[in-house]
Amino acid sequence: MSKSEQERSVSIELPDGSQLDFDGPVTVEDVAYEIGPGLGEDCRAGRVDGDLVPPEYEITEDARLEIVTPGSDDYIHLIRHSAAHVFAQALQRVYPEAELAIGPWTDDGFYYDISGVDIDEDDFPDIKAEMESIIDADYDIERVLRDREEAAEIYADNEYKQDILETEAAGEDPISFYVQDNWQDLCKGPHVQSTGQIGAIELLQIASAHWRGEEDNEMLTRVYGTAFESESDLEEFLEQRRKAEERDHRKIGQELNLFSIDGTTGPGLPLYHPNGKTVLNELSDYVANLNRDADYREVETPHVFRTELWKKSGHYENYRDDMFLLDVNDEEYGLKPMNCPGHATIFDQQQWSYRDLPVRYFEDGKVYRKEQRGELSGLSRTWAFTIDDGHLFVRPDQIEDEVEAIMDIILDILGTFNLDYNVQFATRPEKSVGSDEIWERAENQLEAVLEDADVDYDVEPGDGAFYGPKIDFAFEDALGRSWDGPTVQLDFNMPERFDLSYVGEDNEEHRPVMIHRALYGSYERFFMVLMEHYNGKFPPWLAPEQVRILPISDDQIPYAKQIQNRYLGDYRVEIEDRSWTVKRKIREAHEDRVPYMLILGSNEEEDGTISVRDRKEQEVKDVDPEAFAEHLDTEVDQRRTDVTFVQTYGN
């Protein structure tokens, strides 16, 4: 370390906003002891500017720091990272020929990529038993620094670890290893102090993954597992996982004939069947009406543009590796990864006065991103997806009112679907564009809107986009995973790149601020969340089939058609005319999650009534069909989330 580095002061910002100053570089552990000896003793790791690092990590520049202790939310990541090492050690005890690639923690556990051994889930009991013996032995987990030459010698026969030494660890000397018993792994950490601090483990499944996620690289075996502080926490997780498997949107999508992803058409390219497209159309109509009511004007942009547009917007530089590029007549084109450059181009086609602003555009725009195949999963992550995009061009003094209006729409939508969500307010990152004054004003305006909306939110310092701060909403799926949903983002960058302007009251040109917003996020991911949230039992207004009429015999089919045409002509109604018993017809309708079944026999036909059964297996007889139709009108018009006719009419 140079003298200038030693003399450079370092300022540490703590979670409560207080600040500690040091004369030079300082470790995470040193900062913890400076705060208090008890915290120093409990320090297991630190989160430095968002990155999780070991206690020995040296902070050389001003930074934000959160100390991680056994009581911290981040402590579970240390347990799972250490569990990944325990798995790798146990694997090599059982299968000495196994070659290790990489094994990080994940949001719900860990995985380790391996090669050189052919295993399947039948081998899990032996590996798990060895893992438990390592945990019971309570080996110390120690960080050891080895020089680069020694590290290269250790992994002379492991091409994956060599790759890590040449990439992630490039330029580092010495190299960080973690050692437990007589086993070691190349790793930056952090970890718990000993294997015995891992309370409970489970191996979950096996998958395949290309090394580095690159399709041209070797295919590896990926073993997923999880770990918790206690057996009770593990059991709770496994029970949730079992329930979630019943709600997996891929399973529901197949059962209800909603969508498919056929490998012959290409990975990550969903095919929507009539039932699925019906739901998507309802979602689109709902949000389109909200947009029009809020004075948005609908636009449409092509699926492909010359890459000059993406270079102008900055996406080519940042998204090129994830874009689908093609050559046409010696010119390079790209399928659009985002809709915003097209909307900025539309705005730029005419002159605007300050009186014209805000200008609001919306589009259900299909976009394309070349995700790695190993990351594709049903509708949660695809190559082709549709964003319910909106872009506003506003004066700086209009930001707060416009964001408040967007928030109102988003909160109305979340209430309509009765969805659980959390909100993050992301502030200015280190690399950003725009003046300090603009950023400060924008952040204050966004935070004021959140406060006025009385929304609970977490502040994510430095997690904003380089072009502006943002408010993000995230949904939880049936596995407890968090998925991006609605968002509101301020953008000072694209108006600059596209030289957008309006004429102000002073007759001078001014730069507008661009607001990006999505009310669902993407239709694909929102559809996935809804499938799992409702377990396929869509609200009547969304259901692909809203009513199924069940004639007891063929004699009642004409009466069934009469009921359909006279009372239910505006709804999605099917008549079950197969020669089945009524019991089987009811069972099939329940399995298809149809909201309402109308059972028609000779008595109903004679009396001009219907028997109504809902998917909750509640039934009421002698119903006036007009009363049912009026109730269904109310449920659909009000977008109620549940079936209520039987309960209401029965009372």
* Contacts of residue 185, Cβ cutoff 8 Å, sequence gap at least 6: 85, 88, 100, 103, 177, 178
Cα angle for residues 530, 533, 537 (degrees, 5° grid): 80
**Strand pairing category for 105-106 and 58-59:** unpaired
Q: What pLDDT score was predicted for residue 7?
A: 56
Work out the pLDDT band at 651, boundaries 50, 70, 90.
low
> Using CA atoms, how far apart are residues 597 and 333, in angstroms rounded to an integer?
52
Residue list, annotated binding site for Zn(2+):
340, 391, 516
Backbone angles phi, psi at 180, to 5 degrees: -140, 130
Residue 2 pLDDT: 45
Q: What is the pLDDT of residue 5?
A: 46
Written as one letter, the residue type at 273 is: H
Per-residue pLDDT for 4 more than 50? no
Amino acid, res. 292: R
Domains of the chain (ranges; CATH) run 3-68 (3.10.20.30), 75-246 (3.30.980.10), 262-301+339-534 (3.30.930.10), 547-650 (3.40.50.800)
Q: pLDDT over 70 for what percent of the chain?
A: 97
Query: In whole angstroms, what is the distance from residue 87 CA to residue 185 CA?
Result: 12
User: Alpha carbon of 503 to those of 412, 441, 479: distances in Å?
Assistant: 35, 22, 51
Q: Judge contact between 44 and 70, C-beta under 8 A.
A: yes
Sign of CA dihedral 431, 432, 438, 442: negative
Q: Would you tell me how many other CB atoms lie within 10 Å of the CB of residue 440? A: 11
SS3 assignment for 411-442: HHHHHHHCCCEEEEEECCCCCCCCCHHHHHHH
209 has which bridge partners? 220
User: Does pLDDT of 223 surpass 50?
Assistant: yes
Average pLDDT, the chain: 92
Residue 57 φ/ψ region, left for φ over 0, alpha for ψ in the -120 to 50 degree band, beta for the rest: beta
Residue-wise pLDDT tens digits, 484-523? 899 999 988 889 889 999 999 999 999 999 999 999 999 9
pLDDT (tens digit per residue) in 392-406: 999 999 998 999 999
Where in 348-402 does DSSP place strands (E)? 359-368, 384-394
Prior bond of 190 cis (ω within 30°): yes
pTM: 0.77
44-70: average pLDDT: 94
Point out the least confidently predicted range of 150-159, 262-271, 342-351. 262-271
- Note if the bond before 544 is cis, omega within 30 degrees: no
pLDDT tens profile 522-576: 999 999 999 998 999 999 999 999 999 999 999 999 999 999 999 999 999 999 9
Long-range contacts of 321-330 (CB under 8 A, 24+ apart): 321/370, 322/369, 322/370, 322/371, 323/368, 323/369, 323/370, 324/368, 324/370, 324/383
Q: Annotated binding residues, as ranges?
A: 340, 391, 516
User: CB-based contacts of 356: which residues, under 8 Å, 6+ apart?
Assistant: 502
Sequence-separated (6 or more) residues with CB below 8 Å from residue 585: 550, 576, 578, 597
Phi/psi at 55 (5° precision):
-60, -30
Give yes or no for residue 390 having a pLDDT over 70.
Answer: yes
* 160 neighbors 99 (Cβ within 8 angstroms): yes
Over residues 278-284, the mean pLDDT reads 97
Strand partners, 51: 48
pLDDT digits (tens, 9 = 90+) for 431-488: 777 778 888 888 888 888 898 888 889 988 888 887 889 999 998 765 566 788 999 9
Say how many C-beta atoms besides its own lie within 10 A of residue 52's C-beta: 19
pLDDT tens figures, 125-164: 999 999 999 999 999 999 999 999 999 999 999 999 999 9
Average pLDDT over residues 49-61: 93
Q: How far apart are CA 391 and CA 300, in angstroms?
A: 12
State the pLDDT confidence band at 245, using cuts at 50, 70 and 90.
confident
What amino acid is encoded at 340 in this protein?
C
Identify the three-state secondary structure at position 633: helix
